[in-house]
Amino acid sequence: MSAHPPKLVLCVIDAMAPEMLQRAAESGAAPMLAQLMARGRYIPDCVSAFPSVTPVCAASIVTGATQEEHLIPGMNWYSRAESRYIEYGSSLRAAQRFGIARQLTDTVYNMNRAHLSPDTPTVFESLDDTGVRTAGTTYLMYRGRYRHEPQRDTPLTRFAASTLARHPVMGPRELFYADMFASRPTGCRSTLGMPGARDRHSGCVSSYLVEHDLFDFLLLSLPDNDWHSHRRGPEAQLISIAAADQQLARVMQAAGGIDEFLADHAIIVMADHSQALVTDTIDLQGELADLGVLQPSGGSAILGVLAGLGLTGAGRSGVEDGEEVAETAGHAHETARRATRVMDAEPRIAVCPSQRAAMVYALGPETRDAMRASVVTRATAIEGVDLIAWLARDAHDTPSEGVLCSPTRGELRFAPRDSPRTGEEARGGASPRTGKGGGELCDARGRVWHVDGALSALDAHIDSHGVLQTPSYPDALGRVWAALTCPTSGEVLLSAAPGYEFIDWGGAAHVGGGSHGSLHVSDSLAPLVLCGVDEPPERASNPSSGSPPAQWSIADVAPLVRSHFGLSSP
């Protein structure tokens, strides 16, 4: 490692699908990305988190941890500590159900300050601690070591700063977050974080930072692709990837062009997840209504005004997935009607849709196991539910194994080899068997699992190296285990079948457009382009199996960033 590594830009293009990136590059619609793919290394199958939604993924990207450590479990989740729902902006209507002020506070402030574990440092924090000059454009995860006061430079930002965005935040050295935070004047306006105009703000700010040599590490977030793909469908990404490419060109032009830019910058381009077409919806709140579903509380008239002004996380302030969504006609009312029937009953479960994934929480600890069984039984019969997962516990309440159930393809039980369940007994080494059976299996990321039951539940097979392959559900066991053992996750996790999306608490879904969240391959793969970044030697081969190099995960990027600057990951 040289004393002065090149500056590094981490560019996250939200929801960019590998296939669409390839088509955009090949067709000439994305010339900058095409050049970076040609000059660097292109990895088409970097695996997302599960649920494959932006808050969970963003936390993994910036920390390098998965959610059992970073603790951000979904787009919508239930806080057992506070006995309430947390909503990060599934849709404007969902935000209104929970209260715009609460949603804004949770998304802008609490996600970084209270929800993201203090034990998983972000790359900003790691680099700030060693004096590397950090910078970030509007991104859900921004936690760093520098204090930033809310902007008060226009009547609107003064209004926001006196009502909602009152508090300072801790971010990277240079932080530009919609119109709320700006560490210096750049002349760039975020137009209230309007969807479709966010990439321009990121490009404007970033080109200013390049031109004035203001960073060593920059997180350049280009979120509009996700918004566009939600509305118009994944095929339409050709247009929004081209638009993102224009912003990349603008940033590189600030250095004099791509050659001059690459002379003293390394760049990583990636997505957090992909998107799949939505044709149908699942009304989980309605389906489970008679179990006693906790209803959202909140909603405040004065804050509706701010929503209209675009000063909320949902809709206008640069927050992923808070956009106008295709309304599912009548669903909100139907859900409300069904819910009304049980409003008087004591709520016994919390239902948390995260687009194409969902979680259900049992509210009473004493009835947890019985309630989990009831939810699983019902979920098995709901059209569009592809996989159901839950955690089995031993007599001491210690997690013993995960259970993955397909309503049509059987049930698979699994646990990592290092978990209590698999101690001496599993190390005895039953040989892996195909079909039904038990034994130890290494997966495509080199992790060893004790597996028992039907591999067909995951459309899985064992390859010629003896490695468990789950092409329909990439890194299935690792991702589901992280979700199941995350202390803030629900008791039951659901993944939607291709084409289906869970209706959010505002009654909205993206029918006719795209969405994501599931364990299925269609949402779960992201492109990763490494240009000027050294790969760690351990990626050259998979030490556990002697098979090809381990599959990449979005959680592998933070360690790459740290090692670029000579730091090891915590």
Other CB atoms within 10 Å distance of the CB of residue 338 = 17
Question: Please, what is the minimum distance in Å from the beta carbon of residue 139 to Zn ion?
Answer: 14
Rounded distance between C-alpha atoms, residue 77 and residue 81, angstroms: 12
Q: Does 272 bind Zn ion (CB under 5 A)?
A: no
Closer to Zn ion by CB, 179 or 226: give it: 226
CA angle 104, 168, 139 (to 5 degrees): 55
Closer to Zn ion by CB, 226 or 556: give it: 226
Query: One symbol per residue from 317 to 346: x for binding Zn ion (CB under 5 A), - otherwise; what is it?
Result: ----x-------------------------
Closest CA to 405 of 461, 473, 453: 453
Closer to Zn ion by CB, 311 or 325: give it: 325
- The stretch near Zn ion (CB under 5 A) out of 125-133, 235-243, 316-324, 338-346 is 316-324
**Block residue for tokens 């997690």:** 399
Closer to Zn ion by CB, 128 or 226: give it: 226
Question: Please, what is the minimum distance in Å from the beta carbon of residue 303 to Zn ion?
Answer: 23
Question: Please, what is the minimum distance in Å from the beta carbon of residue 229 to Zn ion?
Answer: 8
Question: Please, what is the minimum distance in Å from the beta carbon of residue 68 to Zn ion?
Answer: 23
Closer to Zn ion by CB, 179 or 321: give it: 321
Residue 441: CA atoms inside 13 Å, Cβ hemisphere, count? 31
Question: Please, what is the minimum distance in Å from the beta carbon of residue 59 to Zn ion?
Answer: 15
Rounded distance between C-alpha atoms, residue 186 and residue 146, angstroms: 18
Question: Please, what is the minimum distance in Å from the beta carbon of residue 148 to Zn ion?
Answer: 26
Question: Please, what is the minimum distance in Å from the beta carbon of residue 2 to Zn ion?
Answer: 38
Closer to Zn ion by CB, 479 or 510: give it: 510
Residue 477 · residue 444 · CB < 8 Å: no
Closer to Zn ion by CB, 126 or 515: give it: 515
**SS percent in the chain: helix, strand, coil, step 5:** 35, 25, 40
# residues near Zn ion by CB under 5 A: 2
Q: β-pairing, 276-277 with 76-79?
A: unpaired
Query: One symbol per residue from 183 to 222: x for binding Zn ion (CB under 5 A), - otherwise; what is it?
Result: ----------------------------------------
Residue 500 · residue 520 · CB < 8 Å: no
Closer to Zn ion by CB, 69 or 226: give it: 226
Closer to Zn ion by CB, 106 or 321: give it: 321
Closer to Zn ion by CB, 323 or 443: give it: 323
Rounded distance between C-alpha atoms, residue 302 and residue 300, angstroms: 6
Q: Which positions ≥6 away from 382 have C-beta within 8 Å?
A: 282, 284, 287
Closer to Zn ion by CB, 206 or 354: give it: 354
Other CB atoms within 10 Å distance of the CB of residue 153 = 11
Structure tokens at 82: 């506070």
Alpha helices, DSSP H only, in 71-151? 92-98, 100-104, 123-128
Give the footprint of Zn ion on residues 135-164 (CB under 5 A): none
Which secondary structure element, helix H or strand E, spans residue 469, and what is its range? strand 467-469
Question: Please, what is the minimum distance in Å from the beta carbon of residue 321 to Zn ion?
Answer: 4
Rounded distance between C-alpha atoms, residue 513 and residue 230, angstroms: 5
Give the footprint of Zn ion on residues 407-436 (CB under 5 A): none
Question: Please, what is the minimum distance in Å from the beta carbon of residue 223 to Zn ion?
Answer: 9
Give the footprint of Zn ion on residues 215-244 (CB under 5 A): 226
Question: Please, what is the minimum distance in Å from the beta carbon of residue 515 to Zn ion?
Answer: 7
Question: Please, what is the minimum distance in Å from the beta carbon of residue 51 to Zn ion?
Answer: 11
As a three-state string, the secondary structure of 136-176 is ECCCCCCCCCEEECCCCCCHHHHHHHHHCCCCCEEECCEEE
- The stretch near Zn ion (CB under 5 A) out of 27-35, 87-95, 314-322, 414-422 is 314-322
Three-state secondary structure call for residue 337 = helix
Binding site for Zn ion (CB under 5 A): 226, 321
